[in-house]
Chain A
Amino acid sequence: MIKTDAVIIGAGPVGLFAVHQLGIKGLKVEVIDNLDKAGGQCIELYPDKPIYDIPAVPECTGRELTNNLIKQISPFKTNFHFNQRVEEVFQDKDNWTIKTNGGKTFSTPNVIIAAGVGSFEPRKLILKEAEKFEKKSIFYSVTNINLLKNKNISIFGGGDSALDWALELSKTSKITLIHRRNEFRGTPHTLEEIKKLEKSGRISIKTPCQIHSIEGDSEIKSIEIKYDNEKIEKIKTDTILSFFGLVMKLGPIAEWGLGMDKKTILVNTDNFQTNKAGIFAAGDICSYPGKLRLILSGFHEVALASVECFKRARPDQKYRFEFTTGSKIIHERLGKNKKSD
């Protein structure tokens, strides 16, 4: 059981800035995220797209924003718990107990939900029969490359993941690369490599077509793909890799007894607390009159929430508002108190 002053659910820009706001107030924080790295939508959906509405930052990409936020909170040496989804949140007197699907348990007076639109999960194949083969012979990411040797692998998708894995796995398996249109999205170098392997017969490319059916009982025997002109082709396959990006699922959050409006959590605008004392929501996932889904709104929301978090974590101390420009104690927390000044 990890005891801490606050648990932040979601390591996107708003969750990261929450670490900063709590950190300068001297609170200890643990961050949980379902992805394998910090950044949330900024990293997963638009790492290279420019953002133009961060105050005093005329232009930056999702990746740059994330890296700068990570740098900004580095003095606080915060623990991140990646690849974990929060499953349960329940009350234990004045504290909240949090359990993740990775088996970790936290006890804290404050929970800040900065979970965007929910946790990211792979977009799965639409065919019903795909379910029973999942993790056995249908994969949405590659975790153990050794399982993918000497196979007949059909790879679906037209982006970097599909292309890169087609290249890599063609060294040891027979690859069929299947995409809904003739154009692939990849670097010119990767596309050239793919074309070379197609010529030498190591990779077979099928476009424009999509999956039509999967045949097999306990193991996949073959698949059928359907071309735009309705033609159907059977392909010998024992393994399917599918790369259609990620979708966001609200997941268990809806079951924690919080006041909700569709897929968002209702908060008050004094401190962004939900209907449960000690549970806060900020960023895209919170909702209140006039809410704008902007990163800058989320920054404001966690700044206010952090004040109430302080009061709950340090009930015997008086809260004093301080500016980062002049506060000695904040400078100390940021590691800026050098003898030279």
Chain B
Amino acid sequence: MPKITFINSSGDSKTVEVENGLTVMEASVQNNIPGITADCGGSMCCATCHVYVKEEWFNKIEKPESGEIDMLDMAYEPKKNSRLSCQIILTDNMDGLTVTTPEKQA
């Protein structure tokens, strides 16, 4: 059960422990963490689950596929460490993953 930390745009953080196999988006929705809207429900077609992955983690986790990068074009203020949280699947070796939610999703 990896622990994952969400930091909002004003710097408040919340850490939750979630089951393996869930996505970061599901982890946030199930734990009522605001800042991730996920309008399309995880089908990679709305860019409202956009997060910034802490740099040290960004290179460790699996790379985004091209469809995700295309979708990130739609996100508000994308950065180099932007990801769609519905495409990051949690495993035990991702214990400690930290993501920041953007100021605005939609």
User: Residues of A at under 8 Å CB distance from B?
Assistant: 41, 45-46, 49, 117, 123, 126, 157-159, 179-181, 183, 185, 210, 228, 244-245, 247-249, 284, 293
Residues A46 and B45 in contact, CB atoms below 8 Å apart: yes
Q: Please measure, in the bound complex, the distance between the C-alpha atom of A41 and the C-alpha atom of B41, giving whole angstroms.
A: 12
Residues A244 and B39 in contact, CB atoms below 8 Å apart: no
Residue contacts A-B, CB under 8 angstroms, 25 given: A41-B45, A45-B43, A45-B45, A45-B46, A46-B43, A49-B45, A123-B74, A123-B76, A126-B77, A126-B103, A126-B104, A159-B73, A179-B73, A180-B78, A181-B69, A181-B73, A185-B73, A210-B77, A228-B80, A245-B47, A245-B74, A247-B46, A247-B48, A247-B106, A293-B41
Distance in angstroms from B73 CB to nearest chain A CB is 5
Residues B40 and A41 in contact, CB atoms below 8 Å apart: yes
- How many B residues touch A, CB cutoff 8 Å? 19
Distance in angstroms from B35 CB to nearest chain A CB is 14
Q: Please measure, in the bound complex, the distance between the C-alpha atom of A123 and the C-alpha atom of B43, giving whole angstroms.
A: 19
Distance in angstroms from A241 CB to nearest chain B CB is 15
In the complex, chain B residues whose CB is within 8 Å of the CB of A49: 43, 45
Further pairs besides A45-B45, A179-B73: 15, Cβ < 8 Å? A41-B45, A126-B103, A157-B73, A158-B73, A159-B70, A159-B73, A183-B69, A185-B70, A210-B78, A244-B73, A247-B39, A247-B106, A248-B46, A248-B106, A293-B41
Say whether, besides A126-B104, A247-B46, A180 and B73 are in contact (CB < 8 Å): yes
Max count, chain B CB within 10 A of own CB: residue among A183, A228, A245, A284: A245
Beta-carbon contacts of B38-70 to A below 8 Å, as 1s and 0s? 011101011110000000000000000000011
Interface of A is mostly: loop
**Which of chain B's residues 67-103 have a Cβ closer than 8 Å to chain A?**
69-70, 73-74, 76-78, 80, 103
Beta-carbon contacts of B17-41 to A below 8 Å, as 1s and 0s? 0000000000000000000000111
In the complex, chain B residues whose CB is within 8 Å of the CB of A157: 73
Task: Give the nearest-CB partner of A162 in chain B.
Answer: B73
Max count, chain A CB within 10 A of own CB: residue among B46, B47, B70: B46
Say whether, besides A123-B106, A248-B106, A284 and B41 are in contact (CB < 8 Å): yes
In the complex, chain B residues whose CB is within 8 Å of the CB of A293: 41
In the complex, chain B residues whose CB is within 8 Å of the CB of A249: 106
Max count, chain B CB within 10 A of own CB: residue among A117, A249, A293: A117
Residues B40 and A45 in contact, CB atoms below 8 Å apart: yes
Q: Please measure, in the bound complex, the distance between the C-alpha atom of A185 and the C-alpha atom of B69, giving whole angstroms.
A: 10
